[in-house]
Amino acid sequence: MLADGTTAQIRLGLFIANSRSRRADIPADRAARLTELGIRWE
């Protein structure tokens, strides 16, 4: 879900790649949730 409440479909691989490249900008709570889901950051 986007900040304005709408949703968008993206490919999982693209989401993971973007998350990894923007890791420093992701809020700590979101990064922790992604880590709990099994996201590998490297």
Flag whether pLDDT at 42 surpasses 90: no
Structural contact between residues 23 and 41, judged by C-beta atoms closer than 8 angstroms:
yes
pLDDT tens readout for residues 9-18? 888 888 899 9
Q: According to the model, what pLDDT value does residue 13 have?
A: 87
Q: Does the structure show a pLDDT above 80 at 2?
A: no
| Confidence label for 22 from pLDDT (cuts 50, 70 and 90) | very high
C-alpha dist (Å) from residue 31 to 1, 26: 16, 6
Question: What's residue 10's pLDDT?
Answer: 80
> Cα separation of 23 and 36, whole Å?
15
What's the mean pLDDT when you consider all of the chain?
88
Distance CA 34, CA 30 (A): 6
Q: How far apart are CA 31 and CA 24, in angstroms?
A: 9
